[in-house]
């Protein structure tokens, strides 16, 4: 006798507003995860790789990279939220809270906010709010996101449950600066830049010089590291039937790659405080080469003598170097409607912490 002991994940029909999902597989973060993150992206931020530097700023030791925390919490939720998702569409009000250290164990839970069908048959959109906790029950990360999700039955009709209006940015008073942070001993020699908070002007555009070609092995390893098992990233048989005809790279891999590229010119952005909004504008596949630029949107005074915040727009572009040819963010189609330029793959509005000049 054969009995079914596996599940196929949730489909659009399963997401009812108000439902709370406590995700399986808590994850202890190891030193090896931090080293592998550097191996995958080449990240050069000393706060996350130099113990003496981190301790001089008041931390116990080098904290886990903010984006690694994001990926690990996101990965807890994938089997329940986006296993049957062809695409994650966007983020809002993403708050990076208590620092995470090697040895901490992360778990997550998600509340369903709403759902609706799309004009494409067999597909809908689901809105959720996810929170990640450490072993002490402290919230280390929380975020809204919305994803396209397949229906179980393509012909079924699903009652719309519209989500609440989401904030367009994280409020200044909700930006979390660790109370132990002390920037009196901040050493710009360690970061390689003298550019401080006062040196960035709203409207300024920073053209980052590096281009990174995306490799199949790296995005597969990264996505496995986060235990993100969404089918579109791994199942080539399935994806051969899709519009792209191959596996799609996990959008978080694009965020981390673009963030790494953005180190040059923003070396003293020592911590991510928030994602205000974000969109994966177009998909990427192995072999694409990623470039990036940043625009300073706002200089935010946090009321501290030692640090302020910068609100930035990080734009990732594939297969065209924006230093050599202008890539508009949006273009008009033949129907007169605006959409992202086909080479734009990431549009991320986020906020970082930067030391002030002493």
328-349 pLDDT, tens digit each: 999 988 888 899 999 999 999 9
Do residues 29 and 76 make contact, with C-beta atoms less than 8 angstroms apart?
Answer: no
If you count DSSP H runs as helices and E runs as strands, how many of each does the chain have, helices first?
7, 14
Q: Do the Cβ atoms of 45 and 263 come closer than 8 Å?
A: yes
pLDDT of residue 182: 93
Residues of the chain with pLDDT under 50: none
The C-alpha atoms of residue 26 and residue 235 are separated, in whole angstroms, by 24
Nearest CA among 78, 100, 123, 82 for reference residue 33: 100
Q: Is the pTM of this model over 0.85?
A: yes
Cα 129 to Cα 36, 85, 126, 184, 253: the distances in Å are: 28, 16, 10, 36, 21
- pLDDT value of residue 8: 81
Q: Which residues contact 302 (CB under 8 A, 6 or more apart)?
A: 172, 175, 177, 308, 309
Going along the chain from its start, the domains and CATH numbers come out as 12-152+177-355 (3.10.129.10)
Q: State the helix-helix crossing angle for 66-81 and 251-261, rounded to 10 degrees.
A: 170
What are φ and ψ of residue 178, in 5° steps?
A: -55, 130
Question: How much is the pLDDT for 89?
Answer: 86
Structural contact between residues 313 and 348, judged by C-beta atoms closer than 8 angstroms: yes
Q: What is the pLDDT of residue 82?
A: 87
Do residues 87 and 8 touch, judged by C-beta distance below 8 A? no
Q: Are 290 and 214 in contact, with CB atoms under 8 Å apart?
A: yes
pLDDT at 1: 60
Please tell me the predicted confidence (pLDDT) of residue 85. 83
Helix (H, G, I), strand (E, B) or coil at 87: strand
Q: What pLDDT score does 324 carry?
A: 94
pLDDT score of 121? 86
Which pLDDT belongs to residue 155?
86
Beta strand segments in the chain, E = 20-22, 27-28, 87-96, 105-117, 123-133, 139-150, 205-207, 212-213, 271-279, 289-300, 307-318, 330-332, 338-340, 344-355
Beta-carbon contacts of 165 under 8 Å, excluding residues fewer than 6 positions away, are none
Q: Which two tokens stand for residue 267?
A: 């070396």
- pLDDT at residue 2, as a whole number: 61
pLDDT of residue 335: 84
- β-strand 212-213 against 307-318: which pairing, if any? unpaired
Q: Are 136 and 113 in contact (CB under 8 A)?
A: no
Model pLDDT, residue 249: 94
Q: Which residues contact 293 (CB under 8 A, 6 or more apart)?
A: 205, 206, 207, 208, 314, 315, 317, 322
């Amino acid at each position: 006798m054969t009995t079914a002991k596996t599940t196929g994940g949730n489909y659009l029909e399963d997401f009812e507003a108000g439902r709370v999902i406590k995700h399986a597989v808590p994850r202890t973060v190891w030193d090896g995860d931090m080293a592998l993150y550097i191996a995958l992206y080449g990240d050069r931020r000393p706060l996350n790789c130099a113990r003496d530097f981190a301790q001089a700023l008041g931390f116990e030791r080098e904290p886990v990279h903010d984006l690694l925390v994001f990926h690990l919490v996101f990965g807890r939720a994938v089997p329940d939220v986006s296993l049957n998702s062809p695409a994650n569409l966007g983020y809002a009000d993403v708050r990076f809270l208590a620092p995470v250290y090697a040895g901490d164990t992360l778990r997550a839970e998600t509340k369903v906010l709403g759902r609706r069908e799309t004009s494409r048959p067999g597909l809908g959109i689901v809105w959720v709010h996810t929170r990640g906790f450490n072993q002490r029950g402290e919230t280390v990360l929380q975020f809204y996101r919305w994803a396209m999700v397949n229906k179980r039955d393509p012909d079924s009709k699903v009652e719309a449950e519209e989500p609440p209006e989401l904030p367009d940015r994280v409020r200044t008073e909700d930006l979390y600066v660790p109370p132990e942070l002390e920037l009196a001993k901040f050493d710009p020699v360690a970061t390689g830049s003298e550019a401080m908070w006062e040196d960035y002007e709203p409207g300024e555009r920073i053209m980052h010089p590096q281009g990174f070609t995306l490799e199949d092995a790296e995005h597969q390893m990264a996505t496995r590291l986060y235990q993100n098992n969404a089918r579109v990233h791994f199942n080539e048989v399935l994806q051969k039937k899709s519009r792209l005809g191959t596996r799609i790279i996990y959008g978080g891999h694009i965020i981390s790659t673009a963030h790494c590229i953005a180190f040059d010119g923003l070396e003293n952005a020592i911590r991510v405080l928030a994602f205000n909004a974000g969109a994966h504008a177009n998909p990427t596949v192995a072999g694409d080469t990623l470039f990036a630029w940043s625009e300073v949107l706002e200089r935010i005074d946090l009321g501290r003598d030692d640090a302020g915040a910068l609100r930035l727009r990080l734009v990732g572009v594939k297969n065209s170097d924006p230093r050599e040819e202008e890539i508009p963010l949006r273009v008009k189609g033949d129907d007169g409607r605006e959409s992202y330029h086909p080479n734009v793959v990431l549009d991320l509005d986020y906020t970082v912490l930067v030391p002030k000049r002493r």
